Structure 1
């Protein structure tokens, strides 16, 4: 066990699988008390059991973040109760990705994407930041996407929603930073929770061809970045979007 997050508590939304699970495991390894959150109690229990078996501290809180202020407030209240009153770090990870283009996206789908990906973290952050301020400080970490900076013909509403969340990152940094709450974001590349040897043949793997890394990333890679942004090591980091994408958005590899 490490100690980079010792004494800190963390709520990680959508942490029953993939990136969220990777963040939860990484936080627990660094001695944070973690609230695993999501819709599936079964998968949540598995993550909690994995953390506890490794000597970490974790509890599961069920939540269906539908974008309503009430659902976000309920999760904030339940997390604080489990953690003994205080959430030091909030990781806004939960999100949905309908793959449709614009013409195939109906109004109900569009509204749900923005409800889950933007409204839910908006009201959850609003519910938890006052407690962080009162406690003397805290950190909010949002999960953006490489799709924000590269136009894609699919998942158009998703890309727009993640762009909104990255904009909120900067606005919240300006709003809450002077009060002791650091706000930053991580922009992951294509991340899969599978055996790295299988990543090359996965349909999503093609999107990481031509990058310096050359393949899909792992949830743990995002988890390590989240540890940095949640720890005191990043005390001078405010309002940034950290690209953890294998070079997907910044580098083109030219074949010789």
Structure 2
């Protein structure tokens, strides 16, 4: 007897495959970093807002607590923007000759966030030396200590998550690099067909990658062209 409405039997293997494709997609970095960042920092914000509104702090201490809470918003927005930027880059195509480290270093989102991390470190280091921290209630001091501990732990987790779920797949080359390289190859072929009428662009018109350009500048390019005939004299 056929199932009602022609519904198919759902096998555990299909469910496992579907879940793994969501956790470890082939066309983009793993979403674990973004999901954890939003969940962890979101929970911290939900906890912090009522505490912040109920604190009876003195002068600068109250503002310093508010700034520390606002830092959490920056920590939550960073992975969202980074994922969006990288998905656009992958869709446009990235050759495998372009290293993941170079892609990460030259990304403007990471440069801005690095400056934000420097500010966050300065905020943590100056919190105990506020002029009126001793005049504030113990609850304010405890809340600032909580923010400092949370920020320190999150910075450590941030480094691990970026290294093992974004730049690599738990230490292995990321799968999305293959997808991005295929997109880059397809775009090169389309560009060549439109402008030159051939599927592969001439070597002297192809856009060089950063690694190839650097090798040309340093004089270490290994492409020596076609082999020359041996013209030794007898």
User: Normalized against structure 1, the TM-score is what?
Assistant: 0.26
User: Which has the larger helix fraction?
Assistant: 2
- Larger radius of gyration between Structure 1 and Structure 2: 2
User: Normalized against structure 2, the TM-score is what?
Assistant: 0.28
User: Which has the larger strand fraction?
Assistant: 1
